[in-house]
Chains A and B, each alone.
Chain A
Amino acid sequence: MDAEEDVRLAVFADIHANRQAFSACLAAARARGAERIICLGDIVGYGADPEWAVETVMDLVHDGAIAVRGNHDNAIGTPSESMNAAAQAAIEWTRSRLSAPQRRFLAELPLTQQEDDRLYVHSEASHPARWRYVDGTTGAARSIEATDAQFTFCGHIHQPALYSMSSAAKMTSFVPTSDVPVQLLGGRRWLAVIGSVGQPRDGNPAAAFAMLDTASREITYCRVPYDVETAADRIRANGLPRWLADRLLEGR
């Protein structure tokens, strides 16, 4: 991150067509002074408002936001993705709802985007199209070693985490505390796994995103309560698998 540049980024991952959650996160990010938006993929899948979600991200990208493709976004155009039954059912339903331009937007999203010393990717950097989960220091080290970027931001696993690699290639892992800024020290390389906006799975049903101050290099993981009942009702009302609604209430 360039020392002269001072931008406040809002980073969103795994929106999953949850309109109530993403609206709440966008409002919270604006209240925190977000100047630029990063969307780490999986805009659709699971949730009941895919048209709105894609349209909203298209508008944001039009206004300068960065977005990358997630495996659910990919599955809209490439039905061969290996997914569980509930996810697959949601993908079929979503595909039928999206317009051709919306489907094209998802299909044309890049797998990674790099900006200064920051890399944005949905799953991890070593093989972005294999959709591997970063679930520990081994996976985090593999991703960090695969990129020149000092800071990598990803989602995919729906549980916030922060990994670092020291100059001696030693790894540290950390479960971030909400609203406590952490300085991403310049002497090491970092992998920030952002929690999910639309389907948190860490036992906390509140929507997750993160803010990054590029001048102070401070990342703040945020949680936002949202109208989870309405989001769950809409999943049920649209005939999507009930489990997709139930899990929102518990955040798992």
Chain B
Amino acid sequence: MAKPLIEPGAELDGFAIGERVHQGGMATLWSVTHPGITVPLLMKIPRISEGEDPAAIVSFEMEQMIVPRLAGPHVPLCFGSGDFDRQPYVVIERIPGKTLYDRLGDLPIPYEEARVIAGKIATALADLHRQNVIHHDIKPSSIMFRGSGEAVLIDFGLSHHNQLPDLLQEEFRLPYGTAPYMAPERLLGVRDDPRSDLFSLGVLLYFFTTGVRPFGESETLRGMKRRLWRDPYPPRKLKPDYPLWLQEIVLRCLEIEPVWRHPTASQLAFELAHPDQAKLTARSERLQRDPLTTVWRRRFNRGLTLPKPKSDVAAQLASGPIVAVAIDTEEGSGPLNECLRATAEQLLATLPSARLACINVLKLGRITIDRTLDEQGNNKHIDRLVALRHWASPLKLDESRLTVHVLEAIDPASAILEFTAVNQVDHIVIGARQNSMMRTFLGSVSAKVAAEAACTVTVVRPPRSAVAENKSSSTPKAIEAS
């Protein structure tokens, strides 16, 4: 079959070809239109003629397999594809605007702006990883933003899909990708660890906040391999005003061993969303790189950096969920709160990478003017935070796995649901109030949360005997409350 002509005015499978938008080393992008589609479109055509880089074909094949399966706001939608026997192409949604590469002239950017950008990228990565895909080429030119603010990841030619053949696995002896952003394990041939994307995001965040690439720009294998044993200068060495929490996050992303990085992109997004609660370790204050003895040990003790057995993306994500437990700090909630703690303890015991967010809702009146201070002049918000920490202390969780949050809201269930959505919570643990007058008047918070949450919800009830005891002691209070 004759190859169809690709030029302005031509048509391919119903797509009318417009202007050429971009000519890259791997592919050419054309603006196209289709009578049935209102979204602006791009047609991507790989460069496959004689003498071109063979990687262009393989990375196009990966996009051809992966892109049609992706969904959600963090990827461009796919509207069609053609195979090699006629004319290879994919048609994707054209995201308006420029990539983050356009910001390179502004570096370094303010810390707060970088925090927001990195948080959006981490959220997009979490969504991608949940779809069993590791991007493997996170860098400024692969990131765009929708008008509504969400980060959009583009270019999946180097990606790995956990449930599809990895055509890049055996094709090239050298790791393929963008040298300054490549995770160290990629240099050992590991392509199935989603935390490689967290490393690349760490490089981007370091670069955007300091103006310096943490591992330089070396493209040689020898130069790239240094990152297997040599850590970058801590950002505070370059910029004395660098925030401790930000250095903590950046250096954790850049850990050589994936297991020392954040367990999941969701957890990284969570850290970036709550810098005030960052657990600062020795990382946060470092001004020097690791001593040479450590570097030599890494370099000559290969056991530390040998490839690990194949991992399963979904299983790895499932082992590091964000669990939110809703705690009522009112009097009379004691037995229920103990049951909540027991349930949380069981969950966390089986999930060593899980993190726990303890939440409490400070209810605002619909009509009354709220005072943040109670009759004795104590700050209610701070009191609640103290109570939450007190509730969590018997769990003996490492502080890096625990956060506490007091949400102020008129409707507690809506506040819990919103927190869950914004923070990509995977599992809510909430208590059901039994036979309380409050419940009769207000409806059940747990029922609404269980019905409307997009994640798993565990509704905890105290054992029967505890309910009976609690009922006899709390009934007068409930009447009082009414």
Contact = CB atoms under 8 A, between A and B. Distances in A.
Interface of A: 137, 162, 164, 166-168, 170-174, 177, 180, 182-183, 185-188, 217
Contact of A186 (B54, B84, B165): B84
A172 B171 contact: yes
Question: Top 4 A-B pairs ranked by shortest CB distance?
Answer: A187-B84, A186-B83, A174-B165, A177-B163
Interface stretch (B28-36, B57-65, B315-323): B57-65
Contacts of B65: 182-183, 185
Interface in B148-168: 162-167
23 contacts: A162-B165, A166-B54, A166-B171, A168-B171, A171-B170, A172-B166, A172-B167, A172-B170, A173-B165, A173-B170, A177-B162, A180-B163, A180-B164, A182-B164, A183-B64, A185-B61, A185-B64, A185-B84, A186-B84, A186-B85, A187-B57, A187-B88, A188-B61
B84 A182 contact: no
Nearest to A177: B163
A180 B58 CA distance: 21
B57 A174 contact: no
A97 B166 CA distance: 46
B170 A174 contact: no
Nearest to A178: B163
Contacts of A170: 170-171
A183 B167 CA distance: 12
B169 interface: yes
A217 B54 CA distance: 23
Contacts of A162: 165
B interface secondary structure, majority: loop
B54 A164 contact: no
Contacts of B64: 183, 185
B58 A166 contact: yes
A185 B62 CA distance: 10
Contacts of A166: 54, 57-58, 167, 171
A182 B165 contact: yes
A172 B170 CA distance: 6
A162 B166 CA distance: 11
Contacts of B162: 177
Nearest to B82: A186
Interface string B51-76: 00010011001001100000000000
Contact of A172 (B54, B163, B165): B165
Contacts of A217: 83
For chain B, give the interface size range. Answer: 10 to 19
Nearest to A188: B61
B167 A164 contact: yes
Interface of B: 54, 57-58, 61, 64-65, 83-85, 88, 162-167, 169-171
Nearest to B84: A187
A195 to B, nearest CB: 16
Contacts of B88: 187
Contacts of B170: 137, 170-173
Given A172-B170, A180-B164, A186-B83, 12 more contacts: A164-B167, A166-B54, A166-B57, A166-B58, A167-B57, A172-B165, A172-B171, A174-B164, A177-B163, A187-B57, A187-B83, A187-B88
A172 B169 contact: yes
B175 to A, nearest CB: 15
A139 to B, nearest CB: 15
Q: Which of A164, A168, A185 has the most CB of B within 10 A?
A: A185
Contacts of A186: 83-85
B238 to A, nearest CB: 42
Q: Which of A168, A173, A183, A217 has the most CB of B within 10 A?
A: A183
A1 to B, nearest CB: 10
A173 B166 CA distance: 8
A52 to B, nearest CB: 35
Contacts of B163: 177, 180
Contacts of A168: 54, 171
A184 to B, nearest CB: 10
Contacts of A137: 170
B191 to A, nearest CB: 12
B165 A164 contact: yes
A135 to B, nearest CB: 16
Contacts of B83: 185-187, 217
A164 B61 CA distance: 12
Contacts of B169: 172
A217 to B, nearest CB: 8
Contacts of B165: 162, 164, 172-174, 182
Contacts of B166: 172, 174
A167 B88 CA distance: 14
B225 to A, nearest CB: 24
A168 B84 CA distance: 14
Contacts of A171: 170
A13 B162 CA distance: 26
Contacts of B167: 164, 166, 172, 188
B188 to A, nearest CB: 19
Nearest to A163: B165
B300 to A, nearest CB: 33
Nearest to A217: B83
Contacts of B57: 166-167, 187
B345 to A, nearest CB: 33
B83 to A, nearest CB: 4
A79 to B, nearest CB: 40
A167 to B, nearest CB: 7
A170 B162 CA distance: 20
A183 B163 CA distance: 12
A181 B171 CA distance: 22
Contacts of A188: 61, 167
Nearest to A137: B170
A186 B169 CA distance: 19
A177 B192 CA distance: 15
A168 B54 CA distance: 8
Nearest to B165: A174
A46 to B, nearest CB: 30
B360 to A, nearest CB: 42
Nearest to A162: B165
Nearest to B64: A185
A137 B170 CA distance: 10
